[in-house]
Amino acid sequence: MDEYTQAALEIVKAQATTRAMTQEEIISMVSTLAKGFQAIEVGQLVAGSTEDQAPTIDPKKAIKESSITCLECGKSFKVITKKHLASHGLTPEAYRAKYGYKKGTGLACKSLARDRRKKMTDMKLWERKGAKKAD
């Protein structure tokens, strides 16, 4: 194992202790870091060049059961927040339009959206509101 891969493994190991990472994320991150270290050593990497590369993920496959992948940076989340999108200079509406999502598409993983929908259905807030008006 070369020194670049070893350094990348140490960084990813530290990252994995702070947040849950899938096997794909770990492998991708190690590979990207090792190549980046090697490019820096050779002097090929120009500052900001990695941010210009858009992830090659199909927008339809970005929303998974337990995660949603940001199509701007490639990171996985449970929910893509306004704050995260602002770091890319986008609003949720602009993000949806850019990647062809429908206007009402939630930027959350499928399991979380399903759980939220079930909670709201169970609470039946629309019935309570009507009951208070009748009083």
All structural domains of the chain with their residue ranges? 1-52, 54-135
Q: Which CATH class is domain 54-135?
A: mainly alpha
Express as a percent the part of the chain with pLDDT over 70. 85
Q: Using CB atoms within 10 Å of the CB of residue 123, give its burial: 0 to 12 exposed, 13 to 18 middle, 19+ buried.
A: exposed
> Is pLDDT above 70 for 53?
no
Q: Which helix (H) or strand (E) holds 84?
A: helix 82-87
The tens digit of pLDDT for each residue in 97-133 reads: 999 999 989 999 999 999 999 999 999 888 876 666 6
Instruction: Tell me what pLDDT residue 47 has.
Output: 47
- Please spell the DSSP secondary structure of 15-75, one letter per residue: HHHHS---HHHHHHHHHHHHHHHHHHHHT-PPTTTTTTSPP---HHHHB-SS-EE-TTT--
Which of the four pLDDT bands, split at 50, 70 and 90, describes residue 93?
A: very high
Residue 38: φ, ψ to 5°: -65, -40
